[in-house]
Amino acid sequence: MLSAIFENKNSMRFFHHLVLVMLFAISLNSHSAANQPTDHIRVVTETLPPYQIQHANGQIDGYATDVIKALFMLTQDNYQIKVLPWARAYEMASSGNNTLIYSMTRTVERENKFHWIGALDKSQFSFWSLPHQEMPENLTLNHLKNIPIACARNYVAEQFLIKQNFTEIHSVNKEFQSIKMLKSNRVKLVLSNRVIFNNYANDLGYQSSDFKTVLTVPELSSYLYIAASKNSDPAFINKYRQAFLQLAQSGQLASIKRKWNIPESDSSPVFTKPKYSVRRSIH
């Protein structure tokens, strides 16, 4: 009987040691996995020159894309960039986890729907006209409400015009189409992001002297961001925020801006929450 008890105690002791060894092995494996590159981070975006430019051969570059590539050089994660229609890219980032999306405007509606990794550029909007277009002195938004204005459909500019009760809104599917309408005198004004407008105008062969800014819209000033899906792991979010901070502090972010002729702004890796609300804003 004593031998049976002794054998039982030895068995319990062996089982106890076995459990400890297994737990230790799991702990080591978890620690090792946390320090290994993550497999194939999904990154979604759309075509939006000069931030995202997709070439005929399928290659994608542009200012924001170069920033994304620089981030992954730091994190050493594997990744795949998918260029999609914006609505689909937005849906994938909204419903997924550990997914990055760029370049996206940080708005009140989106504030708690994503994690915000870092600001790419300050987005400033202006009304553009042809050089000979006459405008009243001390121009305000009220002066423009009954003038034919072109803008991209379902984008932040269109939603602003609707919210401000403009009556002559001419929406187009592609941003560059609004510039063609302006040059052909089909509209008197275009409301657009300054960087995007200048990029498309240049691609169409126009000079800066072919247009003039008649009014800037401070209400639409916001920031284009790299964002991450809400369901992402906290460690993932911290990893990419720290990598973005490193890009900014090292001067690499400014260097990429200069490469793509992106004007310097007061953008920084951390910003306060947006104050202006635009329903269904796209970028």
**pLDDT, tens digit, 9 for 90 and up, residues 217-245:** 998 888 999 999 999 999 999 999 999 99
Could you say which of 3.90.400.10, 3.40.718.10, 3.40.190.10, 3.40.640.10 is the CATH number of the domain covering 41-122+222-259? 3.40.190.10
Is the confidence at residue 189, as pLDDT, over 70? yes
Does domain 124-221 match CATH 3.40.30.10? no
Pairing, β 189-193 against β 99-105: unpaired
The span from the CA of 33 to the CA of 28, in Å, is 9
3-state SS, residue 88: helix
Q: What pLDDT score does 105 carry?
A: 85
Question: Is residue 283 very low, low, confident or very high in pLDDT (cuts 50, 70, 90)?
Answer: low
Which residue spans within the chain are E strands per DSSP? 41-45, 53-54, 60-61, 79-83, 99-105, 114-129, 149-152, 169-172, 189-193, 212-229
Region of poorest pLDDT, from 7-11, 78-82, 85-89? 7-11
3-state SS, residue 251: coil
Domain ranges of the chain: 41-122+222-259, 124-221
Half-sphere exposure of 115 (CA within 13 A, CB side): 21
**What pTM, to 2 d.p., does this model score?**
0.71
Question: Is residue 272 very low, low, confident or very high in pLDDT (cuts 50, 70, 90)?
Answer: very low
CB atoms within 10 A of CB 232: 22
Could you please report the per-residue DSSP string of 111-163?
A: TTTEEEEEEEEEEEEEEEE-TT----SS--HHHHTTS-EEEETTSHHHHHHHH
Chain mean position to CA 104: 3
Tens digit of pLDDT for each residue in 22-70?
Answer: 544 444 444 444 445 556 899 999 988 999 999 999 999 999 999 999 9
Q: Once rounded to an integer, what is the mean pLDDT over residues 155-174?
A: 91
Percent pLDDT > 90 in the chain is: 63
Residue with the bigger pLDDT between 154 and 272: it is: 154
Q: Do domains 41-122+222-259 and 124-221 have the same CATH topology?
A: yes
